Amino acid sequence: MRNFMVGEIICFSGWGQKYDSCEFIFDDIRYKNYKISSIDYSQFGSTELFFDYVKSLNIKAKAILGWSLGGQLSLRLISKNFIACENLILIAPPFQLVKDSKIQAAMSLEAFNQFRSNFAIAQSKTLKQFSVLTAMNDRNSSQISRNLDICDENVDNLLYWLDELNNFSFFNYDLSNIGRTLYFHGIGDMIVHISQMEYFKNSLKNIICKTYDKCGHAPQYSNIDDMRNIIFEFISKK
């Protein structure tokens, strides 16, 4: 078990994607002085085991970046003081993935249950279908769906994390200790509706939001140059 450095940027990827699939965001000369690392939650079969592992690392990072489920988990880890960072970068995290009386702009329970059933039966095929959904409504949708780094390890644990997405909600959850936050979201996102951004804006006291038109659930693939510029400026500020 290695120690994480203060100047490090830690990444948490999205559900069904390779754990280090967000590292390319920092593949730019301006980030040469930062060590970029990723933590793989899919190797754990429970939230408790994953949280205990991260807590044991005693991370105090320059920045944490979380995409989708990775963003949701980043917020939970920071709120529990299991991980610390100067800057938080979120890419389309779900405030609550599945629709209920508290939130209507979310996935229906019927659609979620159908997806879960398909995944339990045919994991590889369903992950490829999920890639298509991730890229939908993006101006570069065909290219993105082909290039997404689908998870090919610990696939059995993904069912647990899928259920965690169904069960978890930030409603009535304390996010008061979350610090500087940079938030990205595609306006055409078919997995996490763009309107969920408003819940985060109301819950986080220090948040900057950037949205992209003609963009789905993976803005880092179709807007990478702009995101790199914004992220670098954000983490460079004192």
pLDDT at residue 4 in the model:
52
Mean per-residue pLDDT for 3-15? Answer: 80
- CATH code for the domain in which residue 33 is found: 3.40.50.1820
Q: Give the pLDDT mean for 146-159.
A: 90
Percent of the chain scoring above 70 in pLDDT: 97
Residue type for position 227: M
Number of domains in the chain: 1
User: 181 pairs with which residues across the strands?
Assistant: 88, 207
Quote the tokens at residue 82.
């299991």
pLDDT above 90 coverage of the chain, percent? 91
pLDDT of residue 5 exceeding 70, the answer is no
Residue 10, pLDDT > 50, answer yes
- Give domain status of residue 119, yes or no: yes
pLDDT at 1 over 70: no
Q: Where are the alpha helices (DSSP H) in the chain?
A: 47-57, 69-79, 109-121, 123-135, 141-147, 158-167, 196-203, 219-222, 224-236
Domain assignment present for residue 4? The answer is no
> Chain-wide mean pLDDT for the chain?
94
> Is 2 part of any domain?
no
Tell whether 153 is covered by a domain.
Answer: yes
Position 125 in a domain: yes
Say if 49 falls within a structural domain: yes
**Residue 227 CB burial class (10 angstroms; 0-12, 13-18, ≥19):** buried
pLDDT tens for each residue of 71-94: 999 999 999 999 999 999 999 999
Domain membership of residue 171 as a residue range: 9-236
- pLDDT for 148: 92
Average pLDDT over residues 43-60: 95
pLDDT of residue 53: 96
Q: What is the pTM of this model?
A: 0.95
What CA–CA distances, in Å, run from 82 to 54, 60, 74, 85, 146? 7, 10, 10, 10, 35
Encode pLDDT of 106-131 as tens digits.
999 999 999 999 999 999 999 999 99
* Mean pLDDT within 43-64: 96
The reported pLDDT for the residue numbered 237 is 84
In a domain, 1, yes or no: no
Q: Is 204 domain-assigned? A: yes
